[in-house]
Amino acid sequence: MTIATRAFAKRSITGLRRLLDGLLLALVVVSLGVVVLGRLLPLSGHPTLVVAGPSMGAAVPIGSAVILDQVPPTSLAVGDVVTLRSGADRAIFTHRIIRVADREGAVWLETKGDANADPDPSLTSSDAVMGRVGLWIPYAGYLLTLYSVPSGVIFVVSLGMVLLLLGISLEPHGARRQAAASPAVDPDAAPRALTFAPVNDVSGAVAEPTYSVADRPAAKEVVRASRERRARHRSSTRGPGPSRRHGS
């Protein structure tokens, strides 16, 4: 394998690992968002519902998640989009108010879907209003539906596990290659002992040995060895001295 091929393979593995990490992070963020929409907001007084019909057209498209504000009936006005229950089966739908009527001290509403040609067949009491739409998030309703069924939760958890395992399988690739390329260093190993001998130059003098930075001996050892070499050199060049006679 050439250097260029190895570099390309390394870049490809790094890019794939980053893609998997990004997908896993996106899955976690989406899951947290679903928990906020489906659990935390209703507890704070803002119910979240899924739009299952196309009656509102582009204003609130099908599959959106609507977040409701609970308001008093007297604050409702023409143009507001509200979610209410109506009919004998208490069906839930989201339509726009086109007329507000006062009947015997009670507020009644005439509603209509933006995509419908005709208004709803009957007036609806304001008591049936579940809330006014304060915010809608497109496509979020599909996620809420997915997380609301056991099979959807199993699918999301399985997808997260697959992304995690794939990322783990790619992560040690570079670490193993790097560990194999670099020798292991034992921090408890004793320092390497050095042996050296004096080297004579052309003039017969003893040359001082040189050391690399990594193998440099201690300063005391250098001084002691240098003194011993000089003493041996002086004794070898001086020769035997004259003998002295002691008189009787």
pLDDT in tens, 103-155: 877 899 999 999 999 999 888 889 899 999 999 999 999 999 999 999 999 99
Beta bridge partners of residue 106, listed in sequence order: 103
Tell me, yes or no, whether 52 and 169 share the same domain: no
| 246 occurs within a structural domain | no
Long-range contact set of residues 119-127: C-beta below 8 Å, sequence gap at least 24: 120/86, 120/95, 122/86, 124/84, 124/86, 126/73, 126/76, 127/73
Tell me, yes or no, whether 169 and 227 share the same domain: no
Task: Answer with the one of 138, 159, 185 that is the final residue of a domain.
Answer: 138
Q: In the prediction, which pLDDT does 222 show?
A: 67
Tell me, yes or no, whether 170 and 129 share the same domain: no
CA dist 42 and 66 (Å) reads: 12
Q: In the prediction, which pLDDT does 34 show?
A: 94
**Residue 65 is inside which H or E element, if any?**
strand 65-69
Task: Answer with the one of 89, 114, 138 that is the final residue of a domain.
Answer: 138
Tell me, yes or no, whether 111 and 229 share the same domain: no
pLDDT grade for 239, boundaries at 50, 70 and 90: low
| 52 occurs within a structural domain | yes
Tell me, yes or no, whether 87 and 161 share the same domain: no
pLDDT tens-place string over residues 182-230: 555 555 555 454 444 444 444 444 444 454 444 455 666 766 777 787 7
CB 130 within 8 A of CB 92: yes
What does pLDDT average to over the chain? 79
Instruction: Please tell me the total count of domains within the chain.
Output: 3
| 219 occurs within a structural domain | yes
Tell me, yes or no, whether 84 and 153 share the same domain: no
CA dist 82 and 87 (Å) reads: 16
| 248 occurs within a structural domain | no
| 133 occurs within a structural domain | yes
Tell me, yes or no, whether 54 and 87 share the same domain: yes
Q: Evaluate if residue 178 carries a pLDDT over 90.
A: no
Tell me, yes or no, whether 74 and 109 share the same domain: yes
* Backbone torsions φ then ψ of 17, nearest 5 degrees: -65, -40
pTM above 0.85, yes or no: no
Q: In the prediction, which pLDDT does 168 show?
A: 87
| 125 occurs within a structural domain | yes
| 245 occurs within a structural domain | no
| 102 occurs within a structural domain | yes
Give the residue with greater pLDDT, 30 vs 192.
Answer: 30
How much of the chain exceeds pLDDT 70, in percent? 73
Tell me, yes or no, whether 56 and 134 share the same domain: yes
Tell me, yes or no, whether 155 and 35 share the same domain: yes
Tell me, yes or no, whether 153 and 30 share the same domain: yes
Tell me, yes or no, whether 153 and 90 share the same domain: no
Q: In the prediction, which pLDDT does 230 show?
A: 77
Range of the domain at 118: 46-138
